[in-house]
Amino acid sequence: DSGVTQTPKHLITATGQRVTLRCSPRSGDLSVYWYQQSLDQGLQFLIQYYNGEERAKGNILERFSAQQFPDLHSELNLSSLELGDSALYFCASSPGGEKLFFGSGTQLSVL
Amino acid sequence: GESVGLHLPTLSVQEGDNSIINCAYSNSASDYFIWYKQESGKGPQFIIDIRSNMDKRQGQRVTVLLNKTVKHLSLQIAATQPGDSAVYFCADVATVNAGNMLTFGGGTRLMVKP
């Protein structure tokens, strides 16, 4: 158990809908990262937050947004969902350095 | 753009043999590299890391080798066990706007035959 908690574990929704994925980092970790894992693209970095502020941005679509709250938990919002958004979404946390601890992921299925 | 990639998508080894998983990186500014193991249905799990001022680092049954001249990274697993079956990712760490961004390679699936 990495100490990073992601909910829900599975999410099934329809195209055009909006969903929110939640992540609780390890106790004491200030950095939260979001990754998308598709079968054909491996792990794609989406965005990083550090102590509530956006720190780095990767290949995150404009339909996607994220935030980190004062209690350090983070949410990833995915809107206007498309079939191609179906993937595993991982959250990871770090105390501020480079080593990341990953959660078990949220499996999103867009039908 | 910069990328981190793997030479072999699938590696099949006999239980007890040694495994070698390779990775190439292109960002010459990268100074930190990590290997992760991902088992089915789980998130990536940290295995071992290495900084660019080193060329070798050993852990328990695992060794990471770094060749900066050819921008190549490898993970060696000694006496491979069935529990080692998983997908292995290398990752390159770059500093972007004071944040650390990990870029993962495509992954290599290691299959251990009993």
pLDDT of residue B98: 64
Give the integer Cα–Cα distance in Å for B11 and A10.
Answer: 30
Task: For residue B66, give every residue at least 6 positions away whose Cβ sits within 8 Å of its Cβ, in sequence order, or none.
Answer: B33, B50, B52, B54, B55, B56, B72, B73
pLDDT of residue A108: 97
Q: Do B43 and A4 touch (CB under 8 A)?
A: yes
Q: Do A102 and B107 touch (CB under 8 A)?
A: no
Chain B residue with CA closest to A6: the answer is B43
Average pLDDT over residues B5-27: 84
pLDDT of residue A39: 74
pLDDT of residue B74: 96
**Nearest-neighbour CA in chain A from B79: distance (Å):** 25
- Answer with the residue of higher pLDDT: B3 or A35: A35
Q: What are A35's two structure tokens?
A: 């990754």
Give the integer Cα–Cα distance in Å for B83 and B87.
Answer: 12
Chain B residue with CA closest to A103: the answer is B43
Average pLDDT over residues B106-111: 89
pLDDT of residue B6: 40
Q: Do B102 and A2 touch (CB under 8 A)?
A: no
pLDDT (tens place) for every residue of chain A, 111 residues total: 889 999 999 999 999 999 999 999 999 999 999 999 987 567 888 999 999 999 888 889 999 999 999 999 999 999 999 999 999 999 999 987 678 999 999 999 999
Task: For residue B1, give every residue at least 6 positions away whose Cβ sits within 8 Å of its Cβ, in sequence order, or none.
Answer: none
Task: Sort out which chain A residues have CB atoms less than 8 A from B104's CB and list them.
Answer: 35, 42-45
Q: Do B100 and A104 touch (CB under 8 A)?
A: no
pLDDT of residue B103: 79
- Answer with the residue of higher pLDDT: B47 or A97: B47
**Nearest-neighbour CA in chain B from A31: distance (Å):** 9
